[in-house]
A and B are shown apart, each in its own frame.
Chain A
């Protein structure tokens, strides 16, 4: 399982890649593995204001639907429309081709509340049964 060092993570298994004032967000390798075969992703709309810690997208596997929580507050500037045709990218490449949306951060200080890779990795280990 991959935990890229350069990313920041939430307890609810989203990742953030910071790019200036923009945060690129998706779900982690651990999350895609737990969900297994992703068949549908419902994304927020471009221009939507999202608030850290609140549901802003839904990811559905064959078996279940799971909420995706905004890792950070701000305005959605871009969404990954490719996921409509190829939702399996979330499984195959969760940190690259499987990205969900870009957020123009309204409060970059929120980033400090997110976890580093090692901390997140430890967190996933406590979630396993």
Chain B
């Protein structure tokens, strides 16, 4: 067990590789109760979130979720988060555990009259079921089929008599669900999911595999790809930055969306031996042109992979990553490193 921002959490239960492969091939169960949950309600709630978040809430309907960045006036990322819309004036916001207090203070500081803000982080548990068999597991314990619940949609439901919010969201690139439940019901819901999943080969998944799973998808992790000195365009999150509204940081960020940035988050694959890690220098012709933000050996493709912030001008030059004073050649790679298999709503013809 390690301490993770005040929470006792296992890096692994049975082993990072076994857990990782179990999620890609079968299904895994995650205790993500460390994540923070805020309630945002009131007739100005929507307006308030539009002002704080980079993404556009116009895209949302009742029962959908939206991924967004939260930025400061300088365009740096305060956090990345999920918004769930119950109604036009009733939202849940899910933030990173490391940022709960900072984010809540930020929300409180900008909250206008007519918006009710509640920190429910320590009252709400979050359990995720992720993997190709997630639907088969969750389908056994919820009240009705989940076939019409697509990626980034959610509904209220019941598991062993406990009220839950059932969302088809996750951070692994696999199909899967995130289940929000009051703390008092968390153990019962975990047990029900465990009993349903065990015969399907489900394993409990620790922080280690959660990290390798998201890294293979090229998903950002706060403190690595995202910080208050990295803007969302640099981090490759231009797709969650709306040019159709103003928001805190928009006067800095929106021009960058057009002009581009001097550095950019890219995927890299090592072409020699070694394991790239956070802060390893990225070099072009021996000169430093960036830094690795996350790296590992991909358990799915068994190759050393990295995300790195690299100077845009150096992207045409052969690159290397310095690992223990040795420059190892590296090639730009498309992310995700492995294909996503989330359960997307079919596009209307």
- A63 adjacent to B208 (CB under 8 Å): yes
Complexed CA–CA distance, A65 and B11 (Å): 15
Query: In the complex, how many residues of chain B place their beta carbon closer than 8 angstroms to a beta carbon of chain A?
Result: 18
Question: Which chain A positions have C-beta within 8 A of B20?
Answer: 62
In the complex, are the beta carbons of A40 and B273 less than 8 A apart?
Answer: yes
- Per the bound structure, the CA–CA distance linking A60 and B212 in Å amounts to 15
Which residues from A are CB-within-8-Å of B15? 36-37
Q: Is B296 an interface residue (CB 8 A)?
A: yes
**A40 touching B11, Cβ below 8 Å:** no
Chain B positions 56-103 with a Cβ under 8 Å from a chain A Cβ = none
Contacting pair B273 A63 (CB below 8 A): no
A110 proximity list for chain B (CB < 8 A): none
B290 within 8 A of A: no
**B297 at the A/B interface (Cβ < 8 Å)?**
yes
- Verify A40–B12 contact, CB threshold 8 A: no
C-alpha gap A111/B273 in the complex (Å): 33
Residues in B with CB closer than 8 Å to A37 are 15-17
B324 at the A/B interface (Cβ < 8 Å)? Answer: yes
Q: Mark A57-69, 1 if CB is under 8 A from B, else 0.
A: 0101111010000
B203 vs chain A, min Cβ distance (A): 14
User: B115 interface residue, CB < 8 Å from A?
Assistant: no
Residues A40 and B16 in contact, CB atoms below 8 Å apart: no
Q: Decide: A40 near B275, CB < 8 A? Known: A62-B212, A62-B299, A63-B11.
A: yes
Residues of B within 8 A of A36 (CB): 12, 15-17, 208
Please tell me if A84 contacts chain B, counting CB pairs below 8 Å.
yes
Which of B273, B274, B297, B324 contacts A62, CB < 8 Å? Answer: B297
Counting chain B CB atoms within 10 Å of each CB, the highest count among A36, A37, A58, A61 belongs to A37
Asked whether B274 lies within 8 Å of A40 as measured between CB atoms, the reply is yes
CB of A39 within 8 Å of the partner chain = yes
Q: Is A42 an interface residue (CB 8 A)?
A: yes
**A-B interface, 3 closest residue pairs, ranked by CB to CB distance from nearest:** A39-B297, A37-B17, A62-B16
Having A40-B297, A63-B11, one finds 8 other A-B pairs with CB under 8 Å, namely: A37-B17, A40-B274, A40-B275, A42-B324, A60-B297, A62-B17, A63-B296, A65-B277
